[in-house]
Structure 1
Amino acid sequence: MIQIIDNTLTTFDYCLPTKEELQVFCELLFDIGVDIIELSVDAYERMEQIINGKKFALHVEFLEMADLFPGFYRYICHSEEPKDNVINEIQINDAREIVRLKSLQKCSEVRIVGLDDLICKSYDKTMAEIKQSVPKSKINFCPENAYGCASALAVQWVMMGGCYVTTSFAGCKNNAATEEVIMALRLALRHKPNRDLSMLPRLVQLFEKITNTTIGNKKPVIGKNIFKVESGIHADGIQKNPANYEAYDPKSVGGIAEIVIGKHSGMKAIQYKLQELKIPLPNEAVMEKMVAFVKETCTEKKSSLKDEEFRQLVHEVIANERNETYR
């Protein structure tokens, strides 16, 4: 059984979210497919209470602190002492340090944090070595993202038979991105295919409000512009068969496919946009002038056109064409 721990709420200690915001954030994480939410002590105290019937893990600095906060599904601590309901965490920054895992052989659950360089090595052999080092333990893999491959490593761990991974929303803790891992596992393994990911924009909005940051427009799965297409051949392909260019339906993550008119747009893209805006298609000669005008305008302004800007450009081209006709 695949199990995903999300540790985003351990990064909110220096923010000032309300308890209601934290509770809604947790509810949305569970809705998209997270199995366990990891809290810091500060986040837990700010929430005041956790959601009944859901699994939460508390990250503590010392194992003795677990006795002060009863009722959690698991406690996570950087420790080598085996204890029930504890995930013993170890930082391993280099595959050559895997030998250190032997000190945790008596622990029932182990979380490995780090291994940023694994993508540069023989990761299949290294992952097998990890399993052999603690054969009786449940191994939770929490790859860090120094080389931009944490999500890929987390998914690869599961594809090779690992059942437990730790991620963070938008990769905010320099870990694999929760939404990327969930989507990849859905596509590759049909993992929780019925979970509703359409509320991801709500998660993005709440995350940005709590952290006072902005998620990049091109961030996989949750970026605002990831379904915007400018190239003419792409626009034509999407019209004929969206699956050629989209691994999943944009609506499944609360997005929408959109043709954007820019300097790379060709005849097909402009025809599609005209139809979308319910503007009658002009003849071929006018279309050619429109394409040239679009390329010139977008090159000068160094950006694509909003729908209203494109509509105004079309009216200008058609008006100029009429003036030339009556001369």
Structure 2
Amino acid sequence: MIRIIDNTLTAFDDCLPSKEDLYTFCNLLFTIGVDVVEFSIAAYERMELLPKEGKYILNVEYADEINKYPGFYKYVTNCTINQDTVIHEVQMNDAREIVKLRALTEYRELRIVGLDDLICESYDRTMNEIKKILSKSKINFCPENTYGCASALALQWVLNSGTDITTSFAGHKNNGATEEVIMALRLAIRHKPNRDLTVLPQLKQIYERITNSCIGNKKPILGKNIFQVEAGIHADGLHKNPDTYEAYQPGWVGGKTEFVIGKHSGMKAIKLKLEELNMPIPIDSNLNEILYLIKETCTLNRKSLNDQEFERIVIKVIGNERIQTYY
């Protein structure tokens, strides 16, 4: 059974949100398919009580903190404690360091953090070697993202018969991005296909408020512009058969396809945008003039048009003429 641990709430100590936001964040993580949520002590103390639903892990620095904060499903620490309720964490920054795991075979459960360079190696062979060395231990893999491949490595670990991975929302802790791994698992092996990912915009909003940051417009799964389509042929193909270009339906993650008009757009894209805005379709001569002005404007401004800018160009061309339309 696959177990996804999200450790985002171990990274908010410098910007702790309200208790209400923490509760909501936890509940939404479980909603999208996270199995266990990991807390720092500071985040846990801010919440005062854990939500009744779900499993929780506490990240501790010292052994006596385990007894001080009872009631958790597991505890994560780099202390030398070997108990059923403890996940021993070890940092590995180089794939060549896996030989050091031979000294850790007595631990019942380990979390391996790092191995950023694994994507540059024969990762399947290295993963099999890790499992061979730690054949008697439960292994939790938490790849870091120095080379931009942490989500891919987390996915490969699962596809290579690993069961436990640790990620963070939007890759906040320089780990694989929770939402990317969950979606990839859904597409690759239909893992938890009934989980509700439409709450991701709400989760993103809370995350941005807590961190006082803005997730990039092109960020996979979460970016607000990832479903925008500009190119004419692309737009026409997507209109006829979305599966041609989209790996998954935008509605799965609370998004929707948006046709954007820019310098690469053609006549098909303009007609689609006119239909989308419930505007009449002009005669061909006017459409050609609209297309020319769009390309000129977008080239000059070095950006696509929003709907208001598009409407202004259309009205400029047809405003002083008797509108002739066809449908």
- Contact in 1 for aligned 2:261/2:269 (Cα 8 Å): yes
Does the residue aligned with 2:9 lie in a helix, a strand or coil? helix
- Give the equivalent residue in structure 2 for 1:175: 175
Q: Could you tell me which amino acid in structure 2 is paired with residue 76 of structure 1? A: V
- Give the equivalent residue in structure 2 for 1:279: 279
Q: Could you tell me which amino acid in structure 2 is paired with residue 179 of structure 1? A: E
Aligned length: 323
- How many Å apart are 1:63 and its aligned residue? 2.2
Matched, 1:195 2:195: yes
Q: Could you tell me which amino acid in structure 2 is paired with residue 90 of structure 1? A: V
- Give the equivalent residue in structure 2 for 1:127: 127
- Give the equivalent residue in structure 2 for 1:159: 159
TM-score, normalised by the number of residues in structure 1? 0.97
- Give the equivalent residue in structure 2 for 1:231: 231
- How many Å apart are 1:136 and its aligned residue? 0.8
Does the residue aligned with 1:75 lie in a helix, a strand or coil? strand
Q: Could you tell me which amino acid in structure 2 is paired with residue 178 of structure 1? A: T
Bigger shift: residues 48-57 or 160-169: 48-57
Matched, 1:72 2:43: no
Distance in 2 (alpha carbons) for counterparts of 1:99 and 1:302: 52
TM-score, normalised by the number of residues in structure 2? 0.97
- Contact in 1 for aligned 2:5/2:166 (Cα 8 Å): yes
Does the residue aligned with 1:210 lie in a helix, a strand or coil? helix
- Give the equivalent residue in structure 2 for 1:300: 300
- Contact in 2 for aligned 1:80/1:103 (Cα 8 Å): no
Unaligned ranges ≥5, structure 1:
none
Matched, 1:104 2:104: yes
Does the residue aligned with 1:46 lie in a helix, a strand or coil? helix
Distance in 2 (alpha carbons) for counterparts of 1:121 and 1:17: 40
Distance in 1 (alpha carbons) for counterparts of 2:301 and 2:46: 47
- How many Å apart are 1:170 and its aligned residue? 0.1
Matched, 1:259 2:259: yes
- Contact in 1 for aligned 2:198/2:251 (Cα 8 Å): yes
- How many Å apart are 1:268 and its aligned residue? 1.0
Matched, 1:42 2:42: yes
- Give the equivalent residue in structure 1 for 2:206: 206
Distance in 2 (alpha carbons) for counterparts of 1:241 and 1:183: 21
- Give the equivalent residue in structure 1 for 2:145: 145
Deviations, residues 43-98 of structure 1 (Å, cap 9, x unaligned):
00001111113100000002221010000000000134311200000000001100
Distance in 2 (alpha carbons) for counterparts of 1:153 and 1:71: 32
Deviations, residues 265-319 of structure 1 (Å, cap 9, x unaligned):
1111111001111111122222111111100011122221111111111011113
Distance in 2 (alpha carbons) for counterparts of 1:174 and 1:97: 20
Bigger shift: residues 206-215 or 285-294: 285-294
Deviations, residues 210-237 of structure 1 (Å, cap 9, x unaligned):
1101100100001100000111111001
Matched, 1:186 2:173: no
Distance in 1 (alpha carbons) for counterparts of 2:177 and 2:81: 29
- How many Å apart are 1:320 and its aligned residue? 5.8
- Contact in 1 for aligned 2:35/2:55 (Cα 8 Å): yes
Matched, 1:219 2:191: no
Deviations, residues 238-291 of structure 1 (Å, cap 9, x unaligned):
111001111111011000100011111111111100111111112222211111
Distance in 2 (alpha carbons) for counterparts of 1:116 and 1:54: 30
Unaligned ranges ≥5, structure 2:
none
- How many Å apart are 1:29 and its aligned residue? 0.3
Distance in 2 (alpha carbons) for counterparts of 1:53 and 1:265: 49
Distance in 2 (alpha carbons) for counterparts of 1:102 and 1:148: 28
Deviations, residues 181-208 of structure 1 (Å, cap 9, x unaligned):
0000000010000000000000000000
Q: Could you tell me which amino acid in structure 2 is paired with residue 197 of structure 1? A: L
**% of aligned pairs identical?**
62
Distance in 1 (alpha carbons) for counterparts of 2:62 and 2:99: 24
Distance in 1 (alpha carbons) for counterparts of 2:321 and 2:97: 72
Does the residue aligned with 2:217 lie in a helix, a strand or coil? coil
- Contact in 1 for aligned 2:16/2:43 (Cα 8 Å): no
- Contact in 2 for aligned 1:286/1:321 (Cα 8 Å): no
- Contact in 1 for aligned 2:61/2:79 (Cα 8 Å): no
Bigger shift: residues 162-171 or 77-86: 77-86
Q: Could you tell me which amino acid in structure 2 is paired with residue 169 of structure 1? A: F
